[in-house]
Amino acid sequence: MASLNNEGYGQILLVEDDLELAQLTASFLQNNSYEVAIESDGLLAPQRVRSESPDLVILDIMLPGQDGLEVCKQVRTFYHGPIILLTARAQGLDEIIGLEVGADDFLAKPVEPQRLLARIRAHLRRAHHFTPVTDTQQASTALKLDRLSRRVFKQGEDCQLTDPEYDLYVLLSSEPGRIFSRDDITMHLRGIEYDGFSRAVDIMVSSLRQKLGDGVRIRSVRGRGYLLSHDS
């Protein structure tokens, strides 16, 4: 990955088949000191991510060759940086599927440039300055946290967490017993305030519960949020 300076600037791969839009977006981001490469083919995108290892990927869902959801699914087998999905389609179903295949964020097109820039900055800050769970907290579970690969193992088996699920687990584990509101979680994971309607956090918590299984309890506190506790 590119080396980031103090403002968090870095290298971005923009996967977008509308070349006019891609050039406009790239120019805007370059004017804000990011390096931007463009790929228009869904079939070629995974190899571009692998070979260039960008700091962040912006990925349109509607692509020739294969769609962005399939690209995201493939890329998540080897890439651990932030992925922002873009779509012009109805948002609800795409958002759920996007989170399931490992996207970190989701924006409906047309995207306001300053909004996109704010999301990029938030994700890059989080990716490079995230506070990991301590060894003491890790030891209190039956899980092993591999910070380098951003994976969680249970009894030697990879829990197959998506990047958002991994970050959610690390956040909850950072203060076991503390109630994190949906706004806390959304702000930490996506750099934005909770809108009061999205079910993205609830979907992510449900998936994380299933993958972590027995021994790790993510409790819901009605009207307040979620907390992590461990079975005795």
Whole-prediction pTM: 0.61
Eight-state DSSP code of residue 13: E
Q: Beta strands 151-154 and 157-158: pairing type?
A: antiparallel
Which residue in 27, 23, 109 sits closest to 61, CA to CA? Answer: 109
User: What's the pLDDT at 212?
Assistant: 85
Q: Rounded to whole angstroms, how far apart are CA atoms 102 and 73? A: 7
Describe the crossing of helices 200-212 and 163-174 by its angle, rounded to 10 degrees: 80
What is the reported pLDDT for 15?
A: 98
Residue 16: phi, psi to the nearest 5?
Answer: -155, 125
Is there a contact between 216 and 141 (Cβ–Cβ < 8 Å)?
yes
- End-to-end alpha carbon distance in the chain: 41
Distance CA 166, CA 163 (A): 5
Q: Which domains does the chain have, with CATH numbers?
A: 11-128 (3.40.50.2300), 135-230 (1.10.10.10)
Tell me which residue of 125, 112, 122, 113 sits closest to 28, measured CA to CA. 113
pLDDT score, position 80: 81
Per-residue pLDDT of the chain (232 residues; tens, 9 = 90+): 544 444 446 899 999 999 999 999 999 999 999 999 999 999 999 999 999 999 999 999 999 999 999 999 899 888 888 899 998 765 556 666 777 777 888 888 888 999 899 889 888 876 664 444 444 344 445 678 887 788 888 888 888 888 888 889 988 888 888 899 998 898 888 777 787 778 888 888 888 888 887 667 888 887 888 998 754 4
Q: Can you give the pLDDT at residue 133?
A: 46
Q: What is the pLDDT of residue 157?
A: 86
